Amino acid sequence: MARPDPSIVILTGAGISAESGIATFRESGGLWESHSLEEVATPQGFARDPDLVHAFYNARRAAVRGVSPNPAHRALARLEQALPGQVLIVTQNVDDLHERAGSKRVIHMHGELSRALCHACQARWAAPDLMHAGDPCPRCGKPATRPDIVWFGEFPYYMDEIETALSACTTFAAIGTSGQVWPAAGFVQRARATGARCIEINLDQSEVSGDFHEHLIGRAGEAVPAWAERVLAG
């Protein structure tokens, strides 16, 4: 049976933005060393102390504004330009560095720092630089605004679209992700089951390294441009 058009699904995690200067979550010096996950990345934490949670994401938003895409983000944008319609980025990152590098087909499965969400009426809008507990929703007026971030215990966005892409792709690459957050950690098994070649690009082994056909160990800023050149060379 003929395979569908070649398609490349690329899962990215905090590691791809590390060389831009955005801290990852789990490594030493990462974000969780100064903030507990329960405090700032769960609905319960937000209910307990919305001021703290808004302050955390306000700081993340400001940090992202001050940095730029790195060679890894730019290489993925070039790959998409060279293979129109064939490259999909599924990112766990809440920054906008893929878009700022020029990528067009980007799914933010864990939400975006640049978006706000009303947890009363589900309205979404562009987040202001600073959000505060009690800010009214522009649609329903209730003081129920929160960052549009998928917290632990919540369901990631666009899972149907991601599932469809994984079941049709011929190449699956995971870049800078530790394989500790589900369901993203299971995407490699899903892609592999449908025959995709699976490549992991990371500084180190991840929790799910054993599921990949190939590993490129190194910094994303060097390894991703090299891999993209190889894909384009056929």
List residues binding ligand NAD (CB under 6 A).
13-15, 17-19, 22, 24-27, 30-31, 92-95, 110, 176-178, 180-181, 202-204, 206, 219-220
Specify the residue for token string 């030493």. Answer: 28
CB contact at 8 A, 191 and 169: yes
Catalytic residue among 110, 119, 132, 215: 110
Rank residues 19 and 211 by Cβ distance to ligand NAD and give the closer one.
Answer: 19
Rank residues 54 and 108 by Cβ distance to ligand NAD and give the closer one.
Answer: 108
Rounded to 5, what percent of the chain is helix, strand, coil? 40, 20, 45
Structure tokens at 73: 């983000």
CB contact at 8 A, 54 and 121: no
Is 132 assigned a catalytic role? no
Q: How far is the CB of 44 from ligand NAD (least distance, A)?
A: 17
Q: How far is the CB of 2 from ligand NAD (least distance, A)?
A: 35
Please, what's the b/e burial string for 107-128 (b: 16 or more CB within 10 A of its CB; e: otherwise)? bbbbbbbbbbbbeeeebeeebe
Rank residues 18 and 144 by Cβ distance to ligand NAD and give the closer one.
Answer: 18
Rank residues 6 and 158 by Cβ distance to ligand NAD and give the closer one.
Answer: 158
Coil, strand or helix: which one is 151?
A: coil
Q: How far is the CB of 142 from ligand NAD (least distance, A)?
A: 26
Side-by-side strand order, sheet with 111-118? 124-126, 111-118, 145-149
Q: How far is the CB of 59 from ligand NAD (least distance, A)?
A: 12
Residue nearest to ligand NAD (CB): 15
User: What are the residue numbers of the active site?
Assistant: 110
